[in-house]
């Protein structure tokens, strides 16, 4: 299997991660699609450096969250991809049924009101990452993770209770 085929296989397997992060950071569908593409592109650019010292999904989380934060802060929200090897492949996002989408919509809207760092903590929480895993991903202590996680959850509760 070539490197490109390996990459496409891994992205297909883990595209739900990219979809969730895109949904969490962007409210508008076009912006979500742009962020999904930008994350996929950034993962592709970094893929040659993936050494397998961690799970692919862990490595993907880190790149996806960092890309989402930079993308959100950036005035330029579109990345023009000129890599012929990459543009031949289309990564299809997970399709969710309408009922499930409606149930998740209120939560995502509340999450979208959080700052980028709090969003990352909520994402890790929703994905059942341990305090140690979050600390490793964020580059902070486990104690700091607990404090920041509680603050982020309290902010989210406050937003949801005010609706």
- pLDDT exceeds 50 at position 129: yes
Same domain, 68 and 134: no
Same domain, yes or no, for 62 and 112? no
Indicate whether 12 and 91 sit together in one domain: yes
The set of long-range contacts for 118-123, using a CB threshold of 8 Å and a minimum separation of 24, is 118/148, 118/151, 118/152, 118/155, 118/156, 119/24, 119/25, 119/68, 119/152, 120/65, 120/69, 121/145, 121/148, 121/149, 121/152, 121/153, 122/24, 122/152, 122/153, 122/156, 123/20, 123/21, 123/24, 123/65
Q: What is the mean pLDDT of residues 119-148?
A: 89
What is the reported pTM?
0.59
Q: What is the mean pLDDT of residues 38-66?
A: 89
What range does the domain containing 68 cover? Answer: 1-95
Looking up residue 126, the CATH number of its domain turns out to be: 1.10.10.10
């Amino acid at each position: 299997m070539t490197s490109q085929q390996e990459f496409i296989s891994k992205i297909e397997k883990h595209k739900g991660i990219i979809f969730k992060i895109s949904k969490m950071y962007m409210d508008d569908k076009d912006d979500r699609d742009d962020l999904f593409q930008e994350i996929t592109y950034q993962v592709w650019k970094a893929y040659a450096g993936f050494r397998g010292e961690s799970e692919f999904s862990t490595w993907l989380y880190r790149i996806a969250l960092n890309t989402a934060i930079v993308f959100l802060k950036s005035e330029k929200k579109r990345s023009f991809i000129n890599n012929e090897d990459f543009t031949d492949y289309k990564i299809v996002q997970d399709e969710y049924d309408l009922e499930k989408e409606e149930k998740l919509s209120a939560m995502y809207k509340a999450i979208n009101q959080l700052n980028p760092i709090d969003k990352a903590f909520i994402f890790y929480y929703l994905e059942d990452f341990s305090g140690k895993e979050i600390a490793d991903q964020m580059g902070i202590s486990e104690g700091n993770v607990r404090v920041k996680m509680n603050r982020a959850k309290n902010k989210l509760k406050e937003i949801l209770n005010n609706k």
